[in-house]
Copies of this chain bind each other. A is one copy, B any other.
């Protein structure tokens, strides 16, 4: 179980921004919707800004908005921006180098990580934030392209 909620919260935040168009949205408003603290939201949006997905404006009339149109923001971009690690974790302790399996298993696992990461990326590249917004607004499930084919 991945305990990291950042991808989920990011999509929530971005959907709100997408819905708000060019208008600036305050962290306090977003926090209310997400049901958490405004600092958590600002901290998260920091990552989204580094990935050029969101812009901010400081000061009394400040807030956040998308850096580009929602159909130009792919879920694979979001995933890469906020999910740092890999699909599964490797050994905490280095395996015994005396055992022929322990000696070589790490590189195999490392390669497998990349295979899975690529599979996730190739799937998420098919969806944009605009798809998510549409799904949220219509209540219809997001189009599953693999099932459609």
Contacts and interface: CB of A to CB of B under 8 A. Distances in A.
Interface of A: 1-5, 7-9, 11-12, 15-16, 19, 32-36, 75, 83-96, 99-102, 104-105, 107-109, 111-112, 115-116, 118-120, 122-124, 127, 132, 135-137, 139, 141-142, 144, 146
B5 A3 contact: no
Contacts of A146: 115, 118-119, 122
Contact of A93 (B15, B16, B36, B116): B36
Given A95-B33, A115-B123, A119-B123, A86 B9 contact: no
Given A3-B2, A105-B136, A123-B116, A33 B86 contact: no
Nearest to A34: B95
A91 B12 contact: yes
A115 B90 contact: no
